[in-house]
Amino acid sequence: MSVNKEIKRITTHVLQKMKHDGERISMLTAYDFSMAKIFDDANIDILLVGDSASNVMAGHETTLPITLDQMIYHAASVVRAIKRSFVVVDLPFGSYQGNSKEALNSTIRIMKETGAHGIKIEGGEEIIESVKRIISAGVPVMGHLGLTPQSIYKFGTYAVRATEEAEAQKLLNDAKLLQDAGAFAIVLEKIPAQLAKKVAEALEIPVIGIGAGKYVDGQVLVMHDMLGINKEFKPRFLRRYLNLYDQILDATKQYITDVKGRDFPNDNEQY
Ligand code: KIV
């Protein structure tokens, strides 16, 4: 297992080479300077400024409410922290569905105002014109298929997608269309592992999974889930690496006890 420490900057070419060499790609979401700095220092390959910020940072039930201005604020904070990682920013709901010009204008704002390296967009055939137009402007595009959270009201459920043949076939076609349009990578969310394997084998570009099994070229998790900041969200695909909710809760309780008990600050903690 290589973590490519010798690579100074992750680019789309580096990611393509990782797929070619069979080296798995690591990706996490980030929304602020401090966490992005830690992830970058740990040599994460891709940081996604996901529209999941709408859930985990702003407390909304879905990703739909977050605005382009809010995504730009989060993305600029992340970009200020990084030296090595490739930073991808989600086009939020309502910033691209109108037409390809709208999609390009939103992308240009993200690229100019944040310094990020690429964008992610949800959907397949229906957004292909936008993907082509954004790429023709020189911006790397990451696709996102399967459970696309911006369509949650159409799906009506967060259950596994593409378990039926027709939806699985459409997903495979959409993945090929995205690759042909020039996308540099695709995220597959919450689909059967065997379908994700088929997609990863059919494509030349990296396929990164979340709840899409072990046969894809890389994995992404939402940082709050990976670090155990969320306690309620427990899907089968999630592996928690810390239990930060309980650790922060305990630390906060101890701080309150120390303040109330006049233990903090002590003689050495004052001027
Ligand atoms: O917004 C997000 O965090 C995402 C990941 C779940 C891939 O799109």
| pLDDT confidence of residue 6 | 73
Q: Is 34 one of the annotated binding-site residues?
A: no
| pLDDT confidence of residue 7 | 81
Q: Where in the chain are the domains?
A: 3-240, 247-271
Angle (deg, nearest 10), helices 193-202 and 165-181: 30
Indicate if ligand 1 lies below 6 Å from the C-beta of 51: yes
pLDDT interval class at 4 (50, 70, 90): low
Residue 3 has pLDDT above 90, yes or no: no
Q: Whose CA is nearest to atom 2 of ligand 1?
A: 50
pLDDT per position as a tens digit, 47-58: 999 999 999 999
Q: Whose CA is nearest to atom 1 of ligand 1?
A: 50
Atom number, ligand 1, closest to the C-alpha of residue 149: 8
Q: Is 122 one of the annotated binding-site residues?
A: yes
Q: What is the pTM of this model?
A: 0.97
Say how far apart CA 85 and CA 4 lie, in whole Å: 11
Fold assignment, 3-240: TIM Barrel (3.20.20)
Residue 1 has pLDDT above 90, yes or no: no
Atom number, ligand 1, closest to the C-alpha of residue 50: 1
pLDDT per position as a tens digit, 191-232: 999 999 999 999 999 999 999 999 999 999 999 999 999 988
Is the Cβ–Cβ distance between 162 and 140 less than 8 Å?
A: no
pLDDT interval class at 155 (50, 70, 90): very high
Indicate if ligand 1 lies below 6 Å from the C-beta of 222: yes
Indicate if ligand 1 lies below 6 Å from the C-beta of 143: no
Q: Which residues are catalytic?
A: 189
